Amino acid sequence: MKETGKRVLGEEHPDTLTSMGNLAATYGNQGRWSEAEELEVQVKDTSLRLLGTEHLDTLTSIANLASTYRDQSRWKEAEYLEVQVMETRKRVLGAEHPDTLTSVGNLASTYRNQGRWRVAEELEVQVKDTRKMVLGEGHPDTLTSMAILASTYRDQDRWKEAEDLRVEMLVICREVWGKEQKVPDPEYPSTLLSMAYQASTYVDQARWKEAEDLRVEILGICREVWCKEQRVPGPENHSTLLSMAYLASTYGNQGR
């Protein structure tokens, strides 16, 4: 496809560049980083020359290359490009645009992976607060932002802050999102995910009884409710088996 596009449309045609980007993504998914990077650099350089630094396609090509660097733990190279994309998207699209917030989140991830907790947290709080204001507290993207920030607290052993945030997520899922979806609160998959996050926070603090209670509840929901909705026998459902494994781990940590 890439070679056909080059021959018929030319190397600089938008469709050719799209094909090159798609092939680079395929290489990346196979861990063929050198080949992915080579194509992504070509797409980025061509986009910069033809479209300019502020064109959305150019910014996407830079972000894709940054992602390839990030996947290889090449943090400095990723950071350099991510700062560029974030600042340009803020200027062109505005600070509240979804693409801008994605850029902020990517940069925060790069900082977090380097152990630069303060700057990562600052950006993650910014993303969480903006999404809560623009999208609402029950939106999936808002809840994802809260989960990421809670993980940053957890990675620093800031258990109380992580727990508070995950309890807030659980309350939102049970009382807000579930009602919006018109299903009983505990049945909604995101509620289960929030419960699992909270159980993990208890485990990290060796609060076995609280972790056990939540994991027993999760297992009960998977067996009796969620699995019925999916028309899959409870014991055979992947989520049920995973819940059983986590509960068994909780028992094991208590020597039971």
pLDDT at 41: 95
pLDDT at 183: 42
Class of the CATH-defined domain 140-256: mainly alpha
| Per-residue CA distances from 182 to 186, 194, 215 (Å) | 12, 18, 24
CA–CA separation, 233 and 62 (whole Å): 46
CATH 1.25.40.10 in the chain: give the residue spans: 1-113, 140-256
Place of tokens 């972790």: 211
CA–CA separation, 85 and 76 (whole Å): 14
CB 82 within 8 A of CB 63: yes
Residues of the chain where predicted confidence (pLDDT) is lower than 50 = 1-2, 5, 7-8, 181-187, 231-236
Give me the sign of the Cα torsion angle 109, 113, 119, 120: positive
| Per-residue CA distances from 49 to 91, 114, 201, 241 (Å) | 20, 32, 49, 53
Architecture of the domain defined by 1-113: Alpha Horseshoe (1.25)
pLDDT at 53: 94
pTM reported for the whole predicted model: 0.76
pLDDT at 173: 76
CA–CA separation, 68 and 81 (whole Å): 11
